[in-house]
Amino acid sequence: MNWENLKKNEKALPEDSMLADLYALSRKIKGTEVNTTVSCNSINGESPRNFSNQFFMNAFGQISFMSPGCKIGQCCFCSYGASDVKLTPEIVAKEMDKFKLTILEKQKQGQNIYSILLDSVGSILDYNEFPKECLDVVFEKLNELLDEIKNIQNVIFETHYQTLGSYDEKGNYVASNAIEKLIEFKNKHPEIGTFIIELGFETANSELRDTLLFKHLDDETYKKSVKLLKENGIEVDVNVMATLPFLSAKEQISQSSESILKALSPLSDNGYGIDCVTLFPLNVRKYTFCNYVFNAQEAYNKKHKACSPQWMKKDFPIWSMVATLNHLIEIGREDLLKKVSVAWFGGRGISKDNSEVYPRDWEETYDDFVLYRKNLSGENSRVNIIKRLAKHPKFIKFMEETMSENSTDLSYYDRAGYLHDLINEMNLPYTEESKCNAFE
């Protein structure tokens, strides 16, 4: 296989040639989404379909802007592709006005919105993705929104940690221009209870991030970013994955539980000093490296009449997420559940077509996780919800199967080597035109 033509972006590729091949393929697969998903160009002279999407659930509202995409663009599980949208201040102003009007309409209907999240396909604070002039308009329009809607308590921006700051010539870590703007805006709105930056994290295990997730984080810089934000009164929320790919169920539970503990531990205790965590399950989506290699494994199994390794199973039951939260209770850290929310649940459209593989048995936990997000007390407190789910027959069966799993001594790097060999042997197409027929 000729991998050289896949290396569109040499920057940040690992020096290790095998890993560089995998990183490059992940970028290439994700790049196929540009021409197959929502485009913001005119169609047959008609107006663009959309420049942003809105999502609301309970007291939460979100506006997500289309963009050219994440500048790194290689995470093995991420389907965030790029669009050919060219945002302008005028477009952003109109989209922010629409967002405000939606919130006002919901308010008239008795649904108050207390938390709002602003993001883009990758990082809303990245000027390469979201132009500086557009961010200025976001703050201008957000100011109008907060002046008119008085019950907003939390304002959240989702971005990449590399957009938060950089090192100056003296080696000091200083805030980026975008963060300086956010700090200035925050200080003008003392009535807002909390300003939050939401960051990707996935796992505290750097080897796992580098070799199997393709999500390199510089831990020292990451912690400096967190420290900088907290010194300026901005809280930090990170995403932790409950069903990490290329791990056995037992490993998934162990890794996600440990990551939550490390994320929420103080910087002084060699933790990350994070304020809160959002736990989410892996959805195996099209245009991702995960989907590609799972398809390759299925093709290999069919060809050789073989079974997948324990750590290469595509099935990710939602009970793994329950097990992670239940483990915190079992080790006496149920207090942390107040700081651990869950993602994906509650109000989003759920499709079970072939384009996405959602966690198995999500229907069994959906209502409880919607309640979990509300962080109530009494019978429906987070602790009681997880204890209740831990008594579910399917959870008990899942744990019995998990505990009986055969352990593997295969390192993360060796697993990456297995994926590399598998891909080379099966050599499946990765373009949209041929992908659907890969196994016919």
- pLDDT confidence tier of residue 47, bands split at 50, 70 and 90: very low
- Predicted pLDDT of residue 348: 54
The Cα 166–Cα 224 span in angstroms is: 10
What distance, in Å, lies between the first and last C-alpha atoms of the chain?
22
Among 35-49, 212-226, 418-432, the range with the most confident prediction by mean pLDDT is 212-226
Q: Give me the count of residues in the chain.
A: 440
Share of the chain above pLDDT 70, in %: 87
**Per-residue pLDDT for 4 more than 60?**
no
Q: Does domain 31-241 have CATH number 3.20.20?
A: yes
Q: What is the pLDDT of residues 76-87, one digit of tens each?
A: 998 876 677 789
- Predicted pLDDT of residue 439: 27
Query: Mean pLDDT across the stretch 319-326?
Result: 97
Q: Which of 185, 140, 138, 130 is nearest to 160 (CA)?
A: 130
Structure tokens at 188: 């003008």
- pLDDT confidence tier of residue 336, bands split at 50, 70 and 90: very high
- Predicted pLDDT of residue 440: 26
Residues 6 or more apart whose CB falls under 8 angstroms from that of 311 comprise 246, 247, 248, 251, 408, 410, 415
426 neighbors 299 (Cβ within 8 angstroms) = yes
Identity of the amino acid at 39 = S
- pLDDT confidence tier of residue 430, bands split at 50, 70 and 90: low
**Per-residue pLDDT for 347 more than 90?**
no
Query: Mean pLDDT across the stretch 156-183?
Result: 97
Chain centroid to Cα 8, Å, comes to 23
Strands 60-65 and 234-241: unpaired
Residue extents of the structural domains in the chain? 31-241
Q: Give Cα separations from 354 to 70, 291, 423 (angstroms).
A: 25, 11, 21
**Per-residue pLDDT for 421 more than 60?**
yes
- Predicted pLDDT of residue 164: 97
Query: Mean pLDDT across the stretch 173-180?
Result: 98
The Cα 439–Cα 150 span in angstroms is: 55
Q: What is the pLDDT of residues 273-300, one digit of tens each?
A: 999 999 999 888 888 999 999 999 999 9
**Rounded to a whole number, what is the largest CA-CA distance in the chain?**
65
pTM: 0.91
Q: What is the DSSP string of 159-176?
A: --GGGSEEE-TTS-EEE-
Structure tokens at 66: 């289309």
Q: What is the pLDDT of residues 23-42, one digit of tens each?
A: 989 988 876 644 333 434 43
**Per-residue pLDDT for 259 more than 50?**
yes
Query: Mean pLDDT across the stretch 247-269?
Result: 97
Of 429 and 51, the structure prediction assigns the larger pLDDT to: 51
**Per-residue pLDDT for 3 more than 60?**
no
Q: Which of 67, 65, 66, 69 is nearest to 78 (CA)?
A: 69
- Predicted pLDDT of residue 81: 67
- pLDDT confidence tier of residue 6, bands split at 50, 70 and 90: very low
- Predicted pLDDT of residue 407: 86
Q: Which of 264, 245, 265 is nearest to 255 (CA)?
A: 245
Structure tokens at 163: 């957009």
Local structure of residue 406 (DSSP, 8 states): P
- Predicted pLDDT of residue 353: 52
Structure tokens at 423: 């891909």
123 neighbors 159 (Cβ within 8 angstroms) = yes
- pLDDT confidence tier of residue 339, bands split at 50, 70 and 90: very high
Q: What is the pLDDT of residues 52-110, one digit of tens each?
A: 999 998 899 999 999 888 878 889 998 876 677 789 999 999 999 999 999 999 999 99
**Per-residue pLDDT for 152 more than 90?**
yes
Count the neighbouring beta carbons within 10 Å of the beta carbon of residue 189.
14
Q: What is the DSSP string of 385-405?
A: HHHHHTTSHHHHHHHHHHHTP
Task: Label residues 365-392 b or e (16+ Cβ within 10 Å = b).
Answer: beebbbbbbeeeeeeebbbbbbeebbeb
For 377, the 3-state DSSP assignment is: coil
Among 43-52, 236-245, 424-433, the range with the most confident prediction by mean pLDDT is 236-245
Q: What is the pLDDT of residues 386-398, one digit of tens each?
A: 999 999 999 999 9
- Predicted pLDDT of residue 32: 61
Q: What is the DSSP string of 237-305?
A: EEEEESS-TTS-HHHHHHHHHHHHHHHHS-GGGTS---SEEEEE---EETTSHHHHHHHHHHHHHHHHT
Query: Mean pLDDT across the stretch 311-318?
Result: 90
- pLDDT confidence tier of residue 432, bands split at 50, 70 and 90: very low
Q: Which of 271, 240, 270 is nearest to 254 (CA)?
A: 240
For 228, the 3-state DSSP assignment is: helix
**Per-residue pLDDT for 169 more than 80?**
yes
122 neighbors 129 (Cβ within 8 angstroms) = yes
Structure tokens at 170: 């003296």
